[in-house]
Amino acid sequence: MTATTTTPTTPTTTAPAITLEAITVTYTRGDGDPLTIVEDFNLTIPAGTIHCLAGRSGSGKTTLLRVAVATLTPTTGTVTWAGTRLETLDPDQLAAARRKHMAYVDQGATVIDELTVLDNALLPAIPTGLTPDLEERATTLLTTLGLGTRTRQRARTLSGGERQRLAIARALLLQPTAIALDEPTASLDRTAAATVIDALHKAATSGAAVLVASHDPAVINTATTVTPLT
Ligand SMILES: Nc1ncnc2c1ncn2[C@@H]1O[C@H](COP(=O)(O)OP(=O)(O)OP(=O)(O)O)[C@@H](O)[C@H]1O
């Protein structure tokens, strides 16, 4: 796999939200042979920008997202969040850094069926406590994502695409430094996809770094920068 990044190299005064340096990921195949999916990959994502990892199925998009959010340790290379090299953190410090900096929406869009849509969106607020401001923000996010009339319904009544948008609202609730999303428009029609793209641009305008894996032209064409994976 080769990668060409189009990220600008303009110096910034604050540390980038996410930096990947010389990342290589080698899996072990079923037959025991090594399979290198990502090799010597570099990427810098400043705050306030949207970066899209684009490419065919199997090109390594999810692998790179998982490295960026630290659910997968690369075979070699360094991941840095807001100036902190993750290899310097113990597991508790990494968990704390993740809570502070990083939200991840995977392709599964897990939500809790028995909770209402609003309560699902508010789940990240539980450790610190609900506030009227957070409830208002959750409602605003759900409205932006086309779920404004569904807030009091149980999540089990939602379609797959609606669950995906609920997971995105939940991830954006606490205004993370960075948010990573895996194919966030994959099961959406054009109208619903536009609400997701709008929400991601609003998050970036508010200062978040957004890393998205997608082969959707609507996402690719509106990203700040794109890495085409082959
Ligand atoms: N744990 C693993 N062990 C072995 N191979 C793996 C593992 N995880 C992923 N792979 C392989 O690595 C390659 C890249 O997978 P990845 O999920 O990163 O691709 P992707 O670009 O996100 O694909 P898609 O668009 O289909 O989700 C695939 O060939 C996949 O089978």
pLDDT in tens, 55-74: 888 999 999 999 999 999 99
Confirm or reject: Cβ of 8 under 6 Å from ligand 1.
no
Given this model, what pLDDT does residue 127 score?
85
Given this model, what pLDDT does residue 14 score?
77
Confirm or reject: Cβ of 66 under 6 Å from ligand 1.
no
Question: What is the CB neighbour count within 10 angstroms for residue 97?
Answer: 17
Given this model, what pLDDT does residue 108 score?
83
Confirm or reject: Cβ of 51 under 6 Å from ligand 1.
no
* Domain ranges across the chain: 46-62+91-229
Does 3.90.110.10 match the CATH number of domain 46-62+91-229?
Answer: no
Distances (CA, A) of 225 to 5, 37, 90, 142: 8, 22, 32, 27
Residue identifier of the C-alpha nearest atom 1 of ligand 1? 27
Residue identifier of the C-alpha nearest atom 13 of ligand 1? 58
Confirm or reject: Cβ of 214 under 6 Å from ligand 1.
no
Confirm or reject: Cβ of 27 under 6 Å from ligand 1.
yes
Residue 126: how many CA atoms within 13 Å on its side-chain side? Answer: 8
Contact between residue 39 and residue 229 where contact means Cβ atoms under 8 Å apart: no
Confirm or reject: Cβ of 1 under 6 Å from ligand 1.
no
Report how far ligand 1's centroid is from the alpha carbon of 179 (Å): 21
Confirm or reject: Cβ of 34 under 6 Å from ligand 1.
no
3-state secondary structure of 181: strand
Mutate to test the pocket of ligand 1, among 35, 211, 220, 227 (most ligand atoms within 8 A of CB): 35
Given this model, what pLDDT does residue 34 score?
94
Residue ranges of alpha helices (H) inside the chain are: 61-68, 91-101, 117-121, 132-144, 160-172, 190-205, 217-220
Q: ipTM higher than 0.85?
A: yes
Class of residue 81 by CB neighbours under 10 A (exposed 0-12, middle 13-18, buried 19+):
buried
Q: What is the pLDDT along the chain (230 residues), one digit of tens a residue?
A: 444 444 444 444 478 999 999 999 999 988 889 999 999 999 999 999 999 999 888 999 999 999 999 999 999 999 999 999 999 999 999 999 998 889 999 988 789 999 999 999 999 999 889 999 999 999 999 999 999 999 999 999 999 999 999 999 999 999 999 999 999 999 899 999 999 999 999 999 999 999 999 999 999 999 999 999 98
pTM: 0.90
Given this model, what pLDDT does residue 5 score?
44
Structure tokens at 1: 């796999």
Atom of ligand 1 nearest to the CA of 55: 21
Given this model, what pLDDT does residue 180 score?
97
